Amino acid sequence: MSRKPFRLFAALLPMAIVIAACQSSASQSPAGSQEPGASAPSGGEEVTVIGTWTDAEQESFLAMVAPWEAETGNTVKYQGTRAINDILAAGIPTGVLPDLAGLPGPGQMAEYAAAGALKPLDDVLDIATYESETSPALVELGMVDGTTYGIFIKAAVKGLIWYNPGLHDYSADPPATWDDLMSQGEANQGDADALWCLGIESGDASGWPATDWIENILLRQAGPDVYNQWWAGEVPWTDPAIKTAFETYMEVVDNTYGGGTNAVATKFDLAGDPLFTDPPGCALFHQASFITGLGEFANQTAGTNYNAFPFPAFNDQYATAVEGAGDLFGMFHDTEAAKSLMRYLVTAEAQDIWVQRGGALSPNSNATSYPDDISALMGGMLTGADSLVFDASDQMPTSMNAAFWSNMVTLTAGQQTIDEALERLAGVAVDAYAQ
């Protein structure tokens, strides 16, 4: 009888044998190079990297660093995870940090730099070359008080309007103004249920596609200056310019497949799928460049089944402004190997590798080996824009950003009016910008 509890553990014993068995087979795999000093090539230093890229993106990043590894004999130990925010929030106060890491956003970058955790890159990078090859807006974004702390390895263009050329081909005469877009769109809507497709569900980040809408409208209605002052907290939420942008957005919601309820219930990556149904659910879909790798877009052919044109102007004065976004990357330990890898990552040679593999735009204007015309167009928009601004919500204090996302959900679902939303956001701003 007293042996019964031991039988309980005996039940776990077969597992131990499984582990032991698998272990001996695993030890024959090349993964053995993790042992420090064991048969490492000369150079032999290890750079630990944590980033948000997983799966296919992780493969692209590893392909990107492979030439550097071959050249220097160092190795990159990469861990991908989307929980980068949690990891760094725990890592910064404790000092347990990787050598290099993706950063959640410009706000956190400034915070980590102020805490002394992030290392300045001015003496690490060849700054002159870096600045000459990279769009000034992106260089600026990597800076805290004039010192560079973050670089972009991969970027995206926001404010693209996607359509199905099978319904109507806009490529010969893309709408130049919003009014032009509305009249052309309605004239060529055909069998489509509604003019627009919209989906803003994104788990814990739900609402961001709607903030992109507001940003792209505001940027072209009120211009880059108002845009930049707005995210910085200098133009209040209750400003008429902001309200006008919200009103334009709500007109879009009213003309959306399934209405606001469907927009809130639909995952952003699948929101454009009704473009491809027969009859189509909608004729137009606004989303960033990375949509081509998601949902039904991933199964369709660029140029033939889908195409895009830039967000049209509201005001001729701001016709060439473009909104971009990207993943910041910083350095926590300034070992020689880490510095060498940082230097390598910003080069056109390195960034071209990912560009070629698809799914990324390069912030480096000399990395142009895009696999298709649409990617090349988008890459050109990013590096060639007269006035490139960065995703506004990503630059707001995180609590402001979260409230912006969340209030866009409530607004789109029809659970609050524009004025109520702006009042609430103004209330959050008092607290958010105070810190």
Partner 1 sequence: MSDKLITTLVAVIGVPLVMIGYIWATEQVLRVVPGKYKPRVRPWLWLAPAFALLGLFLVYPTIGTVVRSLRDATGETFVGLENYAWFFTDEGAQSALINNALWLVLLTVLVVGVGLLFAVLVDRVRYESAAKSVIFMPLAISMVAAGVIWLYMYQYRPPGAVQTGTLNAILGIFGAGPVAFLQVVDFRINTIMLIIVMAWMWTGFGMVIISAALKGINPELLEAARVDGATEWQVFRRIIYPLLTPTLAVVATTMIITALKAFDIVYTMTNGNLNTEVIANLMYKQMFSFGQYGRASAIAVILLAAIVPIMLININRFRAQEAVR
Partner 2 sequence: MTAVATPQQPRLGRVARVRGHLGLHTVVIGLMVIWAIPTIGLLINSFRPAAEQTSSGWWTAIVPPYQFTLENYAHVLSQQDIGTNFLNSLIISIPATVIPIFVAAFAAYAFSWMEFPGRDALFVVVVGLLVVPLQATLIPILQLFATWGIAGSFLAVWLAHTGYGLPFAIFLLRNFMGSLPREVFESASIDGASPVTAFFRLALPMTVPAIAALAIFQFLFVWNDLLVSLIYIGLINPENLPLPVSIANLVTSIGGGSEFLGAAAFLSMIVPLIVFFSLQRYFVRGIVGGSVKG
Among 15, 38, 128, 187, binds partner 2 (CB under 8 A): 15
The site partner of 394 among partner 2, partner 1, none (C-beta below 5 to 8 Å per kind) is: none
HSE, side-chain direction, 13 A CA sphere, residue 365: 17
* 133 near partner 2, rule: CB under 8 A: no
119, 79 Cβ separation under 8 angstroms: no
Q: What is the rounded CA–CA span in Å between residue 428 and residue 425? A: 5
Q: Alpha-carbon distance 304 to 124, whole Å?
A: 44
- Asked if 435 touches partner 1 (CB under 8 A), the answer is yes
CB atoms within 10 A of CB 174: 16
Candidate segments 47-55, 158-166, 211-219, 405-413, binder of partner 2 by CB under 8 A: 47-55
Nearer to partner 2, 19 or 232 (CB): 19
8 A C-beta contact, residue 307 and residue 170: yes
CB-CB contact of 311 with 216 (8 Å): yes
| Element of type H or E holding 48 | strand 46-51
14 C-beta neighbours (distance < 10 Å), count: 9
Which of partner 2, partner 1, none does residue 81 bind to, with CB < 5 to 8 Å depending on kind? partner 2
Q: Is residue 398 near partner 1 by the rule CB under 8 A?
A: yes
> In angstroms, what is the minimal distance from the CB of 382 to partner 1?
27
Provide the token pair at 421: 């939303």
What is the three-class DSSP state of 400? helix
**Under rule CB under 8 A, residue 298 binds partner 1:** no
Scanning 240-248, 342-350, 378-386, 409-417 for contacts with partner 1 by CB under 8 A, the matching segment is: 409-417
**93 scored as a contact of partner 2 (CB under 8 A):** yes
Closest CB to partner 1 among residues 20, 187:
20
CA 82/CA 264 separation, integer angstroms: 23
Which entry of partner 2, partner 1, none binds 77, CB below 5 to 8 A by partner kind? partner 2
SS3 338: helix
> Side-chain half-sphere of 23: how many Cα atoms within 13 Å?
6
Closest CA to 412 of 265, 288, 285: 265
Instruction: Give how many residues touch partner 1 by CB under 8 A.
Output: 43
Tokens of 286: 């606004």
Q: State which of positions 59-78 bind partner 2 (CB under 8 A).
A: 77-78
- Give the one entry of partner 2, partner 1, none that residue 33 binds, where binding means its C-beta sits below a cut-off of 5 to 8 angstroms depending on kind: none
Question: Which residues, numbered 254-313, are part of the site for partner 2 (CB under 8 A)?
Answer: 267-270, 273, 290, 293-296, 298-299
Q: Considering the rule CB under 8 A, would residue 259 count as an interface residue with partner 1? A: yes
DSSP code per residue over 61-76:
HHHHHHHHHHHH--EE
Stretch that binds partner 1, among 62-70, 145-153, 235-243, 391-399 (CB under 8 A): 391-399
55 touching partner 1, by CB under 8 A: no
**Cβ-contact 389, 224 below 8 angstroms:** yes
The piece of 24-32, 224-232, 306-314, 343-351 that touches partner 1 (CB under 8 A) is 24-32
DSSP secondary structure string for all residues of 138-196: HHHHTEETTEE--EEEEEEEE-EEEE-TTT---TTS---BHHHHHHHHHHT-TT-SEEE
Rounded distance between C-alpha atoms, residue 243 and residue 407, angstroms: 14
415 binds, among partner 2, partner 1, none (CB under 5 to 8 A by kind): partner 1
Least distance CB 90 / partner 1 (angstroms)? 9
Q: Shortest Cβ distance from residue 5 to partner 2 (Å)? A: 5
Phi, psi at 256, each rounded to 5°: -110, 145
Q: Residue numbers of the site for partner 2 (CB under 8 A)?
A: 1-2, 4-5, 8-9, 11-12, 15-16, 18-19, 22-23, 26, 31, 34, 48, 50, 52-58, 77-83, 86-87, 89-91, 93-98, 202, 267-270, 273, 290, 293-296, 298-299, 327
Q: Residue numbers of the site for partner 1 (CB under 8 A)?
A: 9, 12-13, 15-16, 19-20, 23-24, 26-27, 31-32, 35, 85-86, 89, 111, 193, 203-207, 257-259, 261-262, 264-266, 281, 397-399, 402, 406, 409-410, 413, 415, 435
